[in-house]
Structure formats: C-alpha cells, structure tokens
Structure 1
Amino acid sequence: MAIIQKPGWFYYEEEGERLGEVSYLKAGHGKVLVLNHTYVDPKLRGQNIARQLVDAVCELARSEGKKVQPDCRYAAALFKRFKEDYEDVALEPGQNADSCPIN
C-alpha cells in the first residue's frame, strides 16, 4: 500500500482514485498536528487503512518533534484504544472529537 503525503494530507490512492485520507492542521505555533478528518472508502474498510494513515501523521510528528491532537472521532478512539502506541505524541482529544462523524 502506498501512502502519499501532501501538505496537510496523507492519502491512499489506487489507479488514480483516492480511497482513503487523513487531514491535519497545524496548531500551537506549528508544534501540534491536529487530526481533523479521516475517511476510507467503504469497500476498503476493515483493512487498517485508516490506522495506517493516522500512523503516517504520527510518524511525521515524531520525526519533527511535534505532538498530535485527535480532533476526529476515529483518531480519538484509536489513540484511546492503543494508548501505548501513541503516548509519545498524543495530546488530549480536541473539542470536536465526539461530534465528528466516522466516515
């Protein structure tokens, strides 16, 4: 699986079609990456693509010495369920984490 990085995005694409994505914003004077949207095409769900996309953002944060704030429900649930995998970069969920629809 090839994950592509663009400013503010990581996405998964097959044959030119974007089938999964995670977006983030910079906050805290650029020291925090706020995960604000995660989506995977329904035909690919259950294959851990969303987690791999979130992990790509976390790896970016680690490499740049930043923190990650989950502000979408999927990312917040992932950080809570696998706390030990994200404890080095995770901040408390943002205010939108409970209201963000899981797509």
Structure 2
Amino acid sequence: MKFNFKQNKIVYQDNLAHELAVIEYQPKNGDNTIWEITRTFVDPQLRGQGIAQKLLSQLVTLAIANNKKLDPICSYAVAAFARDPKLQALQAK
C-alpha cells in the first residue's frame, strides 16, 4: 500500500490502485495562501489504524513545502487541529 498525490487530494492505495482512504483539499476561495481540508475518508475495514492521521501528516508536509496555511473544514480535520498545537500553528486564522 502507498500514498499517491493527485490534484487536490492525497490517496492511500492498495497494490491494485484501489483508493482505500483519501484526504481532499482545495485553495480557499479568493486566497491562494490557504488550503481548505474538505474531506477525509478511510475505508471502514481500515479504520482505527491511524491512516487518516498519516494522510493528514502527508498534507501538512505538502502545505509546509508550498508555504500554505490550512483551514480544517471536514470533521476529522477540525478534531485533529483542536487537539494538536503543532497543527494549530499551521491553521489559517
């Protein structure tokens, strides 16, 4: 299994390229310096294995490399940002 970077999403795939988990983001309307995290999904059979956190970590690394701030919109991202001060430092105000 591996992570694959596609336009506006990071996908966790099996060896047959089936998408098992995804985190989606998009530029915030009118602001090219902020990415909104709009959706996080993990296949029910894989939940509880930390895959959503790994996807978010990949997105954080990508955001830092591209000098972007993040705006958590989906419920998973909102909860993750609320409990992690390191993520809060990247959060768009």
Give the TM-score normalised by structure 2. Answer: 0.89
Within 5 Å, which residues of 2 pair with 1:63-74? 63-74=65-76
Partner secondary structure for residue 91 of structure 2 = coil
Q: Post-superposition shift, 1:55?
A: 1.4
Alignment of 1:43-82 (within 5 A): 43-82=45-84
Task: Give unmatched runs, 5+ long, in structure 2.
Answer: none
Higher strand share: 2
Within 1, Cα distance between the matches of 2:32 and 2:21? 25
Deviations 1:31-81 (A, max 9, x none): 001000000000100111111111111111111111000000110000111
Matched-pair identity in % = 31
Q: Which amino acid aligns with 1:36?
A: T
The residue that corresponds to 1:11 in the other structure is: 11
Q: Distance in 1 between matches of 2:86 and 2:68?
A: 15
Give the corresponding residue for 2:39.
37
Residue of structure 1 equivalent to 2:23: 22
Runs of 4+ more than 4 Å apart: none
TM-score (norm 1): 0.81
**How far did residue 7 of structure 1 move?**
1.2
Distance 2:37 2:54 in 1: 13
Query: Mind listing any 5+ residue stretches in structure 1 that lack a counterpart?
Result: 93-103
Root-mean-square deviation over aligned CA pairs: 1.3
